[in-house]
Structure 1
Amino acid sequence: MTRPQSPPDPYARPQRPVRQAPGESHRSALVVALIGAAATIVAALIGLFVQLSGDTEQRASGPSLGGAPPASETPGAPDTSTAPGSLPPSALAASGASGGADGTPAAPTPTAPTSVGLPEKFLGRWQGYAEEVDATRTDHYRVTVELDQGTLREQVGSVHYAMESSDCYGTATLTSVDGTDRVTLGESIQSGDCVTNGRIVLTLRPGGTVDFAYETIKRDGTRQSVRAGLERVA
């Protein structure tokens, strides 16, 4: 149901339309345009600041976990980093170490030990008359020693004792060398009625002679010693 409209008031004053002054609409449009342009510029500046701040934080924090680290901080600079426990080639060269293709220092080459040999002054045949002294008697007989080249623990010659009762032949092994003027031989009798093993010390004397000194223990437990002066005969 609609309400009946009341009749117009005959005494009411008529409303006049509002009129704008000339040029006012143009000024309003210009102000709105300036405000919009200023807002656009401010928004652009804010976006640029935010982007620059993000780039600065990323460079300060380094590469991300998923990215590869840069090869060098300076573009175009060579990578001088080395693996842990290794030295660069320049350091190896400075230290004087020589190595293989993989840079591992080569082990030093071992040198073979020098063998000690019979001095050359003792080489040849030596002969003289010996005096043997033991607890019961003294004997005299000829002694001949022949020596050749050889090293320690090698057989270097032979020994011959020409006695009235028996001739004894044996071998001589080099057991020690004391400089160039003194050597020790181990004697082993191969034939004849003599003590099987003994020790001979040869000492070179001025004038080209050799002192012969023999020591051993006889079968009865007594000490036996033989002394002789030998001369080179060949």
Structure 2
Amino acid sequence: MARLAPASSPLTLLVILLLARFAYSFATPDIPLNWTTLASCAVDNPERIIAGDITTQTADNTPASCIESCAAQGFGYAGVEFGNECHCGTGLNDALQKAPDSDCNVACAGDSTLACGGSWRIQVYTIFALRPGSWAYQGCIADTPDTPALTDSSAQAPFATNLDLINQCLQACSRLGFTFAGVENAGTCQCSNGGLATDSQKMDEAECNSLCPLPGDAGFEFCGGVERMAVFKFTG
């Protein structure tokens, strides 16, 4: 006569539940160097979500060590994935698709109490200025062939996406040592050391009405307008 398999005991079920909870219970990581979290867990792909992705695998990988490594190389975006992967880059290739935090379930190679992403799941971090100091908004400035907004401006190569464009532009100008940066019509970034042109014209803020998407579900930001540049100055 066949015997029925015994039902799981309450103690066994309790152990299973505790193990499952522990598997996803990680400490909150320290975020150094005034960086901030863009996504506590996001979807990555073979083409990589971080623009210009440089990936290294390290035995001491944590969010903090990855951020410090990316910052030391002049990158403004960092991500940890699959335990030992540190990703550095210059921006984002696409909008971040948020994943459940429980998907980032692989412990960091350098600290098993912390999560470092998962399988095609990445934790993403950035900083809003690469040098000590801050950028101050100068206003919505007319930028036409006859009345340029900036003197001695240097246009940046197009970014992979205009996602988080202001941050991408400030980082690019900062890396190159410029003290002025401007975004225009949700797609152009210019850098300058000469600053505002002597005959520059400040326009009504409503004319800087072109929208750029922000990461995750943060919505949009204003990124200049048609022949209108949102200008920022590095204050040191």
**TM-score, with normalisation over the residues of structure 2?**
0.21
Higher relative contact order (CA 8 A, sep 6+): 2
Q: Which structure's CA Rg is the greater one?
A: 1
**TM-score, with normalisation over the residues of structure 1?**
0.21
